[in-house]
Amino acid sequence: MNSAYILTGGNMGNSLENLSRAATAIAKNCGSIIAQSSIYRTAAWGNQEQPDFLNQVLLINTLLEPLVLLKKLLDIEHLMGRVRDKQNDPRTIDLDILCYNDLVLDSTVLTLPHPRLHLRRFVLVPLNEIAPDLEHPVLHKSIKQLLQQCPDTLNVKKFSW
Mean pLDDT, rounded, for 130-159: 97
Query: 12 vs 19, 52, 137, 140, CA distance in Å?
Result: 11, 9, 33, 35
41 annotated active-site? no
Which pLDDT belongs to residue 86? 65
116 annotated active-site? no
Among residues 21, 41, 94, 121, the one annotated as catalytic is: 94
Indicate if the pLDDT at residue 14 is higher than 90.
Answer: yes
Question: The pTM is what?
Answer: 0.95
84 annotated active-site? no
121 annotated active-site? no
